[in-house]
């Protein structure tokens, strides 16, 4: 299990004011933890940094294609 007690959670600046978004922490070595901002105790996905980088790269490329 990964210790997330020191995780510095942040929400996208593009999130709406109603809080319907995800939060992530980029200060945990080797992984990017992601959670639901409406249910912070409901569970966390931990994604490897290489997989996160690939996901973000693909998302940015796809967004530019449209």
- Give the model confidence (pLDDT) of 22-35 as tens digits: 899 999 999 999 99
Tell whether 3 is covered by a domain. no
Distance, in Å, from the CA atom of 2 to the CA atom of 33, rounded to the nearest integer, reads 9
Distance between CA atoms of 24 and 37, rounded to whole angstroms? 9
Quote the pLDDT of residue 43: 92
Alpha carbon distance 45, 56 (integer Å): 16
Question: In sequence order, which residues have a C-beta less than 8 Å from that of residue 30 and are 6 or more positions away?
Answer: 48, 49
- Has residue 45 been placed in a domain? yes
> Could you tell me if residue 30 is inside a domain?
yes
Q: Among 20, 65, 18, 27, which Cα is nearest to 49's?
A: 27
* Count: domains in the chain: 1
Domain-located, residue 19? yes
pLDDT of residue 44 exceeding 90, the answer is: yes
Provide the residue range defining the domain that includes 32: 9-65
Is residue 63 very low, low, confident or very high in pLDDT (cuts 50, 70, 90)? low
């Amino acid at each position: 299990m990964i210790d997330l007690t020191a995780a510095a959670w942040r929400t996208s600046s593009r999130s709406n004011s109603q809080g319907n978004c995800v939060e992530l922490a980029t200060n945990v070595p080797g992984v990017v933890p992601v959670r639901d901002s409406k249910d912070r105790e409901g569970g966390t996905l931990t994604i490897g940094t290489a997989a996160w980088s690939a996901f973000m790269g693909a998302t940015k490329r796809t967004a530019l294609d449209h």
